Amino acid sequence: MIPIELLSPAKNVAYGKAAILHGADAVYIGASYYGARAEAANTIPEIAELVRFAHLYRAKAYVTINTILFDQEIENAVSLAWELYEAGVDALIIQDMGLMQCHLPPLPLFASTQTHNHTPEKIKFLEDTGFQRVILARELTLDEIREIRLKTRIELECFVHGALCVSYSGQCYMSHAITGRSGNRGTCAQPCRSSYRLLDASGNTLINDARLLSLKDLNLSDFLPDLLEAGVTSFKIEGRLKDINYVKNITAFYRQHLDAVFKNKKAYDPASSGKTIFNFTPNPYKTFNRGYTDYFVKGCRKKVASLQTQKSLGEKLGKVNRVHASYFTIDTPLQVSNGDGLCWIHPQKGIQGVLVNKVEGGKIFPARPVDIPMGTEIYRNNDFCFEKQLSVNSSDRRIGITFKLEENETGYTVMVEDEDGNRTDDTFETEKIPAKDIHQAQAQIKKQLGKLGNTVFSLSNVIISPSFGYFIPAAVLNEMRRQVILKLENIRMDIYHAKKAERPDLLASYPEKKVGYLANIANQQARKFYEKYGVEVTEKAFELQSDYRGKLLMVTKHCIKYQYGLCPFKQQAKQKWKEPLLLQDQQNTYRIQFDCKLCVMKIYNKD
């Protein structure tokens, strides 16, 4: 069987535990520093707590050290890696190639999506230099992933859900150029979510006040079988800065989808133990989303921008069909409740929102007067009842176990085995009391041994000989159960060992002879790494430069011309804008170049 991993985000320990309890096979979490989400930092003891919890379920915990590093930070980053190794983590996710020159612990290394993993040649290079896994660029098509699988043997991890960076990851310098906050350093200011004007070469305004670089969110739930067939073995959910209910809902949603796929594809199994029961119906539209896109997975060009808002829209409810001074109605059978948050796009005012004060007879009474034109589409971006469901006992994940009870000379022997084949037993000296009613006594035994509420286990079976004819008091059974379960938990932890990695120094060939600032080389160790493979380093990292005039800030497969129906190749558009086009925010102007041969859009800082 091929183990398939559902990988969920963990902002902190509580989020990580919630992800595992909602079906994640692995979680990724940031340490106290050097993570690409600086606002999601955790201490070593906190990570060790999550590791122990995860390992009970045979789930894994990966830690991000995925920023680029300056010279003075390399030593601390290596020390951090060793501390994480001692804490029992299962892998490190890294971006900076300088770490490959250092004495790292024998942990598997995953190449962050920030290392721009978009071609078979680049990924083969990473494989040959010692990486065990690559996190694929979100822009890849199924055919491109298949080609990578054919030409490499490295593990392939693929984003399937969550926010999309408009630029190829690791290749965006816009935030740093504007604010000094670098995405490659974990502090992106997200200028892609800002509002822009689009100007033509003559300075005429073509589009005013639109989120021209803000993308919808990714949702590849319909493509899980295709991605499996293409060679992906880890399915990743974005969201280390999202709230805990997002983590619960989206993890549960993909757990159900993957389990449904496994029923039809018998070659695959979940990569961790236990089964999860959900006390709610997962729905990706009920938590943060800007509308969904499958991006370019099918290989065709898409309109992927969320032009009107960078905020969450939630689920579409319907259109306004009646407006009164104190209420309005919508043409939908969906239930709206007191406390729900509703939003809509006003043609002049942009995105607007309001809380629902009460609902009576289909009439929605907002908490304040609102201006909603007839026919406006209404969305619910906060479902009060759904959020309440998620806040209490929304899932139960258990590992199946079987007890076997036998008589011995001085009392009883209890054996227990879990679904992974781990087993233990314990012998208890106690008075043997003949049962007045054998069937009733055995039912009592099964009932008490099955009381596993505060453990990670659930009862699959209790094996007792039909001739077993003793009554065992509840207090004795409870103590027997408690002791043998504690031994089983300890065995599960003792025999679990994070995979140790060997990193042989293979003959590797980098796909380019020269690299500039797009290689993100910010320290001497990284420079030595590339030079070791015969690569000439022509520029230091963008973050170490001071003159950004004319610099390429972003490369994206999102195309503004295509978004507005003006692509001369894919849409046979006859209307043309006078180029070069310019993007303009409140302070800065940027030049756009359309590379139609590669079907990408490039954004440059103004000269």
Whether the predicted pLDDT of 40 surpasses 90: no
For the chain, count helices (H), then strands (E): 13, 32
Looking at residue 134, the DSSP 8-state letter turns out to be: E
Tens digits of residue pLDDT in 44-82: 999 999 999 999 999 999 999 999 999 999 999 999 999
- Does the model's pTM come out above 0.85? yes
CB of 583 closer than 8 Å to CB of 197: yes
Looking at residues 233-253, what average pLDDT do you find? 97
The per-residue DSSP string of 402-416 comes to: EEEEEE-SSEEEEEE
Q: Compute the Cα dihedral for 38, 42, 48, 49 and give only its sign.
A: negative
Q: Would you say residue 316 has pLDDT above 80?
A: yes
Whether the pLDDT of residue 504 is over 80: the answer is no
Q: Residues 366-397: pLDDT tens digits?
A: 999 999 999 999 999 999 999 999 999 999 99
**199 is written with which tokens?**
């100007």
Distance (Å, whole) CA 60 – CA 450: 28
Gap between the Cα atoms of 194 and 210, Å rounded: 8
Per-residue pLDDT at 334 exceeds 80? no
Question: pLDDT by residue (tens digit) across 265-306?
Answer: 889 999 999 999 999 999 999 999 999 999 999 998 889 999
Contact 78, 104 (CB under 8 A): yes
* Section 141-159 average pLDDT: 98
Q: What is the 3-state secondary structure (H, E, C) of 41-81?
A: CCCHHHHHHHHHHHHHCCCEEEEEECCCCCHHHHHHHHHHH
